[in-house]
Amino acid sequence: MCGIIGYVGTDRGDDALEVLLDGLSQLEYRGYDSAGVALADGGIDVHKREGELAALEAALPRERFDGDSIGIGHTRWSTHGPPSDANAHPHTDATERVAVVHNGIIENYQSLRDDLAAAGITFQSDTDTEVVPHLIGRSLDEGLDHEAAFRAAIDRLEGSYAIAAVFDGTETVYAARHESPLVLGVADDGHFLASDVPAFIEYTDQVIYLADGEFARLTPDDLVITDANGQVTDPSVETIAWDPEDAGKSGYDHYMRKEINEQPTALRECFRGRLDELTGRVELPELGDLEPRRPVTFVACGTSYHAAMFGTRLLQDRGVPAQAFLASEFDADRVPIDAESLVVGVTQSGETADTMRAIREANSVGATTVAVTNVVGSSAARETDDVLYIRAGPEISVAATKTFASQQAALTMLAAALSDQRSRALVRELRAVPDQIQSVLDASRAREIAETYHGAEAYFFIGRGYHYPVALEGALKMKEITYTHAEGFAAGELKHGPLALVSEETPVFAVVTGDGKLAEKTIGNVKEVEARGTPVVAVTDGQSDVERYADHVLEVPATSAVASSIVANVQLQLVAYWTAHELGRSIDKPRNLAKSVTVE
């Protein structure tokens, strides 16, 4: 959600405009509806356009910026005011002495805007962000220097923000963050800042993660970080373990397809060093000495919430009390948690605003907190007591795929560790999952299914037990990238209302594996829709006779219910992908959605 890029280079550094445009192109996956840049060599020069980055590039007088070495850029996802040239970032003060870009929500912007308007300021946009440059401008009028004026403005803000600013007449970028991600890049020929590492990974793999309440001052030769009181801090510089090729498409038409196909590799990395087949133990030393069989509360959003539901079932089946909450609905005053509680935040980016709020509430009552995340150095990783990395590597497509599978895998290991379970069978099953997924990728008939049903009115997904969260995730993927109505249900709930919606134009995808009681009951639900003329697609390992009642079959290898849920999910991801492909949708950047949702 929104993207920031900033750069200040030395005489031997790259042209700022090219760095900014490269960075913005790498941040397109986050979701946006306008883009802009501000160059600050010899005056503030702002260019911004509604629409995709190509519209901005077409409007830029590039020859004017040859040799410029400092600037900031932004891709905006609308919150205050519709997409427009005027509402696009960067924003300036009345006399264009400062330009600002911002991610997040300034909650007290209306009162600030009213005060500034009363003082004679005329606003050019509907955004909350525009108050920031005007606040800075007022402080400059009062005689404060650039840094003091920037700090004074930040001190008046309430809400979440990652903010970067450039000033006329200085080769310096100023930045600050509160509850919105900002990462700094360190290179020999300049310094970078961005909302995410891919924006500058082509130029450096040396990064510093700015913490809440910290300020940064970037010049060509220096990078200084200070706390809220102005005291210089000594941050650690981390090396990113992946290269620019990892964040590219590698010849695929879409990032989503590439990332679906990367799941065997991602899962092997998730399992690396954590599974001991000889003893049947799961080893997670990064979690320290968490007390086994302690009640667990999960908080998460979207795809991560479906993974949390999966984790809840895993723990409950092992005798550990567990519950999952949508992070946006979590309230520590209502949910009975205290210093004896274990709260697990599941978040791919480690920056999801609702999940971070829930984690902070849990921290405030003294609960032990654990983050299950993909991003080293993220807010979730820094603000929890322990962190379990899923190790999926960079995921660029807005629709999560390999990170969901890696979350399922990581939570399976977490459940084994928290239940103090030893099982050679489980370890063997998990080790086999990457190869099983590869077999699905090699032989899937999902494209044929998509070609048959891409004109459907709606899609329904059903499953029981471990397959219920998978059904929910299958529906979410379908609606995210095809823009077609799709719903997931616990299979037994069909008869309690949703059956009124099924018809010959509403295919039902049923996840049925094994031959036990849950499979038998789900087959009964399949018969209910089959009897009403509804097309049925069975995702199955062939151990039951569900094929008799299905119009089409998507095969998965036979394994346990836990492992088969990870594998079956891949078939549903492929169905969604190929359906969106048939419909000509924007697969990697679906409308109205963002990759990392950093507002509540």
Return the active site residues. 2, 595
Tell me how far apart the alpha carbons of residues 114 and 112 are, in angstroms, rounded to a whole number.
5
**496 burial class (0-12, 13-18, 19+ CB within 10 angstroms)?**
exposed
Tell me how far apart the alpha carbons of residues 206 and 236 are, in angstroms, rounded to a whole number.
10
DSSP notation for 364-393: HTT-EEEEEES-TT-HHHHHSSEEEE----
Could you give the C-alpha distances from 150 to 99, 110, 138, 166, 211, in angstroms and in order?
11, 19, 10, 10, 17
Sheet of 98-106, strands arranged across: 91-92, 98-106, 159-167, 173-178, 215-218, 223-226
What letter does residue 520 receive in the DSSP assignment?
H
Could you give the C-alpha distances from 546 to 148, 208, 455, 553, in angstroms and in order?
69, 53, 25, 9
Tell me how far apart the alpha carbons of residues 362 and 366 are, in angstroms, rounded to a whole number.
7
Could you give the C-alpha distances from 358 to 202, 212, 326, 328, 379, in angstroms and in order?
34, 16, 9, 8, 13
Terminal C-alpha separation, the chain: 12
Tell me how far apart the alpha carbons of residues 428 and 252 are, in angstroms, rounded to a whole number.
32
SS3 for 86? coil
Residue 21 has phi, psi (to 5 degrees) of: -65, -40
The two structure tokens encoding residue 573: 């991801």
Tell me how far apart the alpha carbons of residues 325 and 467 are, in angstroms, rounded to a whole number.
18
Residue 387 has phi, psi (to 5 degrees) of: -140, 135
- Please name the amino acid found at residue 233: T
Tell me how far apart the alpha carbons of residues 52 and 75 are, in angstroms, rounded to a whole number.
9
The two structure tokens encoding residue 407: 């979350």
- Please name the amino acid found at residue 292: P
In contact, 465 and 492? CB cutoff 8 Å = no
Tell me how far apart the alpha carbons of residues 97 and 146 are, in angstroms, rounded to a whole number.
10
